[in-house]
Amino acid sequence: MIGYLSKFFYILAGKRRQLIFLIFFFLLTSLMEAIGIGLVGPFIALASNPQVIYQNPWLHWFYTQSGLQNDKHFLYLLSAITVGILYFKSVLSFYGQKYVFQFSFKQQGELSAKLLRSYLAAPYTFHLTRNSALLIQNIVNETDKFCTHFMLPFLTSLANITVILALIFLLSKTNLIATLSVAAILLPAFGSIYFFRYKISQWGQEASESNTEMIRIINHGLGGLKETRIIGCESYFENQMRAQIDKFAFALSSFQAFSILPRILLEAILVTFLVGFTIIFLLSNQNAENLTSVLGVFAMASIRLLPSVSNTIYAFGIMRNSTYSVDKVYHDLKETENLEFERGQKILDELSLRKLFDSKSYSRCCLPFEQEIILDKITYRYPSATETNLKGISLHIKKGQSIGIIGKSGAGKTTLIDVILGLLTPETGDIKVDSKTIYNDLRSWQNLIGYIPQSIFLIDDTIEKNITFGVPDDLIDKPRLEKAIQSAQLEELIEQLPDGINTVVGERGVRLSGGQRQRIGIARVLYHEREILVLDEATAALDRETESLVSEAIRSLSGTKTMIIIAHRLSTLEHCDRVYSIEKGRVVKSGSYQEVVACV
């Protein structure tokens, strides 16, 4: 558990001051509680025999200090102090608990945001090996488990443990043998958690894994709804889901059933002990007055001790059950932090983002680009690939030029584009802009680029938000938006829609045709007015007529923009200044459109 606590403190880095404050707060409330309960014993003894004032040196001292002349008045004063302290403690512990809840749930939100940020900043290769269901599970469920099933029980058990220690100390002052007996009863209950610790962790892991699997199955079934419906395999996904639900239910119910066991045992053993203690006390003919006061303290202590102990045992169980979540959150934060550091890639803060989208300061966010881009002997191999995917590729692109890249399926065109976009880092070779490597400041290089992939990603929002993608509302440039819509041949479509540019396109743009989605992607890149345009089969989804109109719009940019275009339809590359033909990760031919295409 100590190892998990160090992970816990790593995850909560920067919050140590609040944690220390909380721990002190709990110590204070426990102290108040101990004093309150400690006063109950003398109070009962005093009520049944006022002579105790003169027998007990503490009470006698207090009595003389109070200046009261009457035993009864002293009893009233003592009862008022006892009740007052308990009320004060109750108010204090209410606010303490409230603060703990506020702290925990705030941390959950911050942790989810921190994880999302880490995933967004992580290298592209990180995402090539991770299923998004796993990331969703980590951001939403594991952070929830970390906060509500690890941090919250940890903090409340700190409070409970201080109460337990204070009460045991109090008991030991009253009757040492009885205290040792209580300790002997409590130890096996704590021991049961220790004994079953691996099983408890395993149940937690199984529940988490089936949760991830459930998200994955839902993604598959609903994500490919058309295919699912036509093939008729709905029950295939349903059965997969049921299998995971069974696993999840088994893991959760096993843990829940186990976690109440110590509490039930503890209650039974403690009651047996109290009854046994009373009988032994009576049989040994001890003073009944002593018994009343000792039992009074014991009864109060049991009322408070029993819930504290069973809550602590329950909390330990829950924490143990959530260690898998702590591991996952810790692992991903640590891994992405290292990767981010290695790559020097950073996420723009609010101010830099606004600068980037503000046309007045845009150029200051970019790498200076006046002459040329040089790709110098780029080699790249995917982490899971056995063969090198790009083998010493060199390209030379002058500012304002358009180059075309052709090649059979699997030749390495998209891989090359991903290297140019800065998503994949080459094993050897360099990309230079005006003789400066882009790898010293990848973000400034990416700020120069506009990208249109084979299939455009649309958010479930309005057409306007999809075109201006990521631009804060107050920075949306309306005339620029109109111009982009016009150039991407979207005017007619928008006019037909009842809500025009404010029409919501649906998840991944389901309410639009493939060609319309692609044109929104083209409008997006035109709106952002980047210096370099990278088009990966950008017009492939368009019909011939729209394609020629859109291609015309793109072509009209040649000379002003630098373009890197991948196309299967060779006619799309006709206007390119230079065409490169790629085969098995190598440039096999380059030259003018006529020189290269004539050989294909």
Ligand X SMILES: Nc1ncnc2c1ncn2[C@@H]1O[C@H](COP(=O)(O)OP(=O)(O)OP(=O)(O)O)[C@@H](O)[C@H]1O
Which residues sit at the interface with ligand X, rule CB under 6 A?
Answer: 128, 382, 384-385, 389, 407, 409-415
DSSP three-state, residue 431:
strand
What is the maximum alpha-carbon separation in the chain? 118
- Report the nearest approach of ligand X to the CB of residue 568 (Å): 7
If the CB atoms of residues 327 and 536 are measured against ligand X, the closer one turns out to be 536
CA–CA separation, 326 vs 463, rounded Å? Answer: 40
- Report the nearest approach of ligand X to the CB of residue 453 (Å): 10
- Report the nearest approach of ligand X to the CB of residue 467 (Å): 26
Q: Which amino acid is at 103?
A: F
If the CB atoms of residues 333 and 419 are measured against ligand X, the closer one turns out to be 419
If the CB atoms of residues 412 and 422 are measured against ligand X, the closer one turns out to be 412
- Report the nearest approach of ligand X to the CB of residue 389 (Å): 4
- Report the nearest approach of ligand X to the CB of residue 121 (Å): 19
If the CB atoms of residues 128 and 599 are measured against ligand X, the closer one turns out to be 128
Residue 372, CA distances (Å) to 56, 72, 295, 592 in order: 95, 99, 90, 18
If the CB atoms of residues 413 and 528 are measured against ligand X, the closer one turns out to be 413
If the CB atoms of residues 395 and 411 are measured against ligand X, the closer one turns out to be 411
Any idea what the Cα angle at residue 554 is, between residues 550 and 557, rounded to 5°?
150
- Report the nearest approach of ligand X to the CB of residue 562 (Å): 21
| Residue for token pair 């300061």 | 361
User: 534: closest CA among 524, 543, 547, 546?
Assistant: 524
- Report the nearest approach of ligand X to the CB of residue 131 (Å): 13
User: 308: closest CA among 187, 158, 177?
Assistant: 158
- Report the nearest approach of ligand X to the CB of residue 18 (Å): 42
Check: CB of residue 585 under 8 Å from CB of residue 388.
yes
Check: CB of residue 320 under 8 Å from CB of residue 204.
yes
If the CB atoms of residues 70 and 384 are measured against ligand X, the closer one turns out to be 384
If the CB atoms of residues 97 and 125 are measured against ligand X, the closer one turns out to be 125
- CA 175, 176, 177, 182 dihedral sign is positive
DSSP, res 345: -
Burial of 358 (0-12, 13-18, 19+ CB in 10 A): middle
End-to-end CA distance of the chain: 65
